[in-house]
Amino acid sequence: MRFFSAVLGLCALLAHAPAYAEAPSDPLSWLGRIASASQRLNYVGTFVYQSGDHVETSRIAHRVDASGEYERLEVLDGSPREIIRRGNEVRCVLPDERTVIIDQASGRRAFPARLPASLNGLAESYRIRKGEVGRVAGYEAQAVVLEPRDDLRYGHTLWAEMQSGLLLKSRTVDEHGGLIEQFSFSDLRIGGDVGMDLLESRFTPDDDWRMVNARGNDMPRSEIGWGLAQALPGYSLSSVMRRPLGRDRGQAVHMVFSDGLAAISVFIEPIGDGSSVGLGPVSNGAINIYKRTVNGHLVTALGEAPERAVRLIGDNIQAVQQ
């Protein structure tokens, strides 16, 4: 009985003690913690993605040491897929297709790295506030709510682990509050050693596999040759590069417009066979796609943003004089 009394007394003391004195009080500081935690921490976990009737489970292992950042993400449902990251190189392994796609890491990656390193101007497009403290995957989590100021972006709620700031859960909603997509850890270990065995691919490509180099080359903005006839409020050009289209197909111009959270990519490529297929808007979960032809080129705009925003970007792309 003394043991149980002591335990109950300790629980009572902990219940009345401040949970984490170092936790920031303002929501912008919480967003900064979320943005950095996914890159500077070691963690291993399982998370679930939900969009409409589609549910998918993935396993992720992430490690940071003096030599850089390492990550392996494996989709556990359906066809096997892996994303292997080594520093600035990302490899998408598709064993059923016997293909490896090689690309470079972008500023914003998959869950839990949902936020970019720079959050400048975010408050101009979203009303940001702290939500309630809850529990996700066994951890105390602080909710941060981002409400869009217009209909050109989605709303978001982010749940960050109280001590580390690591993103535990992310929910994206439409203008009516309806769920568009959600990521949530179901099992997670933060910190400790993450062995290289957890970061290596389960598949060993041989001579029969295709190695596709999708890496682009940054290009000066003065050489783009394309621009927006009318700017979209809150969105600005954050990057531009040339990307290979494949054998004998030349290159595409890849422009990214971002408000600091939402990002819309625009691919501009010469019209080829089948370019007229699928013109107009298409929706796939949180991602909207819009295609049109202009001046002998196919323009494809896509991003995790409302259809109106993606369409406005696509319709306003035009050739500009150098």
pLDDT of residue 115: 86
39 membership: H or E segment, kind and range: helix 27-40
Q: What 3-state class would DSSP assign to 30? A: helix
pLDDT bracket for residue 11 (50, 70, 90)? very low
How far apart are the C-alpha atoms of 167 and 110, rounded to whole Å?
A: 11
How far apart are the C-alpha atoms of 242 and 250, rounded to whole Å?
A: 10
Reported pTM? 0.86
**Burial, 79: exposed, middle or buried (Cβ in 10 Å; 0-12, 13-18, 19+)?**
exposed
* Residue 110 vs residue 76, higher pLDDT: 76
pLDDT of residue 283: 78
pLDDT bracket for residue 153 (50, 70, 90)? very high
Residues of the chain with CATH 3.30.200.100: 216-319
pLDDT of residue 313: 97
Indicate the range of 56-65, 117-126, 173-182, 298-307 predicted with least confidence. Answer: 117-126
pLDDT bracket for residue 10 (50, 70, 90)? very low
Q: What is the pLDDT of residues 67-93, one digit of tens each?
A: 999 999 999 999 999 999 998 899 999
Mean pLDDT of 6-20: 34
pLDDT of residue 214: 85
Q: What is the CATH topology of the domain spanning 18-198?
A: outer membrane lipoprotein receptor (LolB), chain A (2.50.20)
pLDDT bracket for residue 121 (50, 70, 90)? confident
pLDDT of residue 280: 77
Q: Is the pLDDT of residue 13 over 90?
A: no
pLDDT of residue 275: 58
Tokens at residue 298, please?
Answer: 């196919």
Mean pLDDT of 165-190: 96
**Burial, 99: exposed, middle or buried (Cβ in 10 Å; 0-12, 13-18, 19+)?**
middle
pLDDT of residue 16: 34
217 membership: H or E segment, kind and range: strand 217-218
DSSP structural state of residue 197: G
Q: What is the pLDDT of residues 20-50, one digit of tens each?
A: 336 677 899 999 999 999 989 999 999 999 9
Indicate the range of 12-16, 183-187, 260-264, 271-275 predicted with least confidence. Answer: 12-16
Residues of the chain with CATH 2.50.20.10: 18-198
Q: Which of 202, 190, 203, 204 is nearest to 64 (CA)?
A: 190
Q: How much is the mean pLDDT over the chain?
A: 87
pLDDT of residue 221: 83
> How much of the chain exceeds pLDDT 70, in percent?
88
How far apart are the C-alpha atoms of 248 and 236, rounded to whole Å?
A: 32
- Can you identify the CATH homologous superfamily of domain 216-319? MucB/RseB, C-terminal domain (3.30.200.100)
pLDDT bracket for residue 1 (50, 70, 90)? very low
Where b means 16+ CB within 10 Å and e means fewer, 278-299 reads eeeeeeeebbbbbbeeeeebbb
Q: What is the pLDDT of residues 185-242, one digit of tens each?
A: 999 999 999 999 999 999 998 889 999 988 888 888 888 889 999 999 999 999 899 9
